[in-house]
Amino acid sequence: MLLLAESDPSMNIDPNQIVFFDTTLRDGEQSPGCTMHHDEKLRMAHKLAELGVDVLEAGFAIASQGDLDSIRAIAKAVRGPRITSLARCKREDIEAAARAVEPAPSNRIHVFLASSDLHLEAKLRITRAQALEQAAESVRLARSFVDNVEFSAEDATRSDFAFMVQLVTVAVQAGATTINLPDTVGYTTPDEYKSLFQRIRAEVPGSENIIWSTHCHNDLGMAVANSLAGVEGGARQIECTINGIGERAGNAALEEIAAALATRRDKFPYTNNIVLSQLYPTSQMLGEIISFGAAPNKAIVGANAFAHESGIHQHGVLANPLTYEIMTPESVGVPANNMVLGKHSGRRMLEQRLTELGHPLTRDELDIVYHRFTELADRKKSIYDQDLIGLLSEKVTTAVTH
């Protein structure tokens, strides 16, 4: 039998602390185009530790020998986060997870079992009574290897509430220290999810002694909103991924949640360990490792997240960035905002960019060049610095003639 990991005082329940559980290397990697090799997973794990995640789900040990080896390498080398492996409620899964996370000074086994009748009947083909017995046995087995066990009730948001209370209760009684209520298929709404946590915390004996967790998928585009609603309902762990990668439409995006907590402290007066300035660099690293990066309009880390083309917006940002930016780009690790010159840009932005390029203009000269610029912008989607320089030809003589 493996030795119990040392207790981690930082994981004690604090009602004012949000625990960030990152599953980029597990749930994220399961999505098409996101497979990572051993060295890539290790490199990403070190970056996630630098970012300040509290729990790092490094993989699904039973999936393959390669995945087990990667989790074990991360458990040996990465310090800071609690290292965990996912496991079905099966002995072989739990034993593989135990071998994988054993080297980590702070570890966890994360077991899951479906709670919805749809999954129990169509996928697992077991009764509710069998599910209760399986959950209890699996949590007890996991606790024989580690002292920190998470239990997830898969498809929680489509489950019969009374049965889910029973299932979660037996898991807690068997020794689970964290209970996760996943919105496995991205089905719920924020008010429903908040209410789910409020109701179940009131029903499960000893609920005040465990950490409740969200895990939201983005099938209806509400993963981040649902995760934050779960926090309002009493959850204190949020499961999420970098860039929101994950099965189907993805998971709740870590960078969006962290930025929301930081920007709206009036609404979410909680602390966390995320280093905000590492959000953009971490997103960039993930984009280099997998086959695609964040969409340009992706909140917080997308190429356009701090870009402005509209002349009205550009004028406001130049006067005071707070007019159109609710956070500074530097606060999340973006080098600077990006003023994009296009057909919606105004004179002031054009004048500033030309001055930066070493070509200050008089008012008359600017009027002429701006007219040329708008004509070009109607024909050309992307305007570069060399295009601007080209607009300056004969600007002085033309201005004198007028």
| Confidence band for 349, pLDDT divided at 50, 70 and 90 | confident
Compute the C-alpha angle 116/193/209, nearest 5°: 85
**Contact, 20 vs 55, CB < 8 A?**
yes
Same domain, yes or no: 43 and 180: yes
**The CATH number of the domain where 45 resides is what?**
3.20.20.70
**pLDDT of 357 strictly over 50:** yes
Last residue in a domain, options 289, 323, 354 = 289
Domain membership flag for residue 4:
no
pLDDT tens for residues 7-44?
343 346 789 999 999 999 999 998 889 999 999 999 99
Q: In the chain, how many domains are there? A: 2
Tell me what the mean pLDDT of segment 164-171 comes to: 98
Task: Residue 118: give the domain boundaries.
Answer: 14-289
Domain membership flag for residue 9:
no
Same domain, yes or no: 132 and 225: yes
Same domain, yes or no: 22 and 69: yes
Same domain, yes or no: 263 and 384: no
Same domain, yes or no: 193 and 68: yes
**Contact, 239 vs 215, CB < 8 A?**
yes
Same domain, yes or no: 60 and 203: yes
Domain membership flag for residue 302:
no
| Confidence band for 5, pLDDT divided at 50, 70 and 90 | very low
Last residue in a domain, options 238, 258, 289 = 289
DSSP letters along 45-62, please?
HHHHHHHT-SEEEEE-GG
Same domain, yes or no: 311 and 181: no
* Cβ neighbours around 3 below 10 Å, total: 8
Same domain, yes or no: 278 and 358: no
Same domain, yes or no: 104 and 182: yes
Burial 144-179 (b: 16+ CB within 10 A, else e): bbbbbbbbbbbbbbbbeeebbbbbbbbbbebbbbbb
Q: Decide: residue 104, CB within 10 A, 0-12 exposed, 13-18 middle, 19+ buried.
A: buried
Decide the pairing of beta strands 107-114 and 307-308.
unpaired
Same domain, yes or no: 92 and 240: yes
Same domain, yes or no: 164 and 19: yes
CA distances from 192 to 156, 162, 166, 354 (A): 12, 16, 20, 53
Last residue in a domain, options 289, 323, 353 = 289
| Confidence band for 6, pLDDT divided at 50, 70 and 90 | very low
pLDDT tens for residues 257-293?
999 999 999 999 999 999 999 999 999 999 999 988 9
**Contact, 43 vs 285, CB < 8 A?**
yes
Tell me what the mean pLDDT of segment 382-388 comes to: 73
**Of 8, 208, 234, the residue nearest 108 (C-alpha):** 8
Domain membership flag for residue 299:
no
Same domain, yes or no: 62 and 155: yes
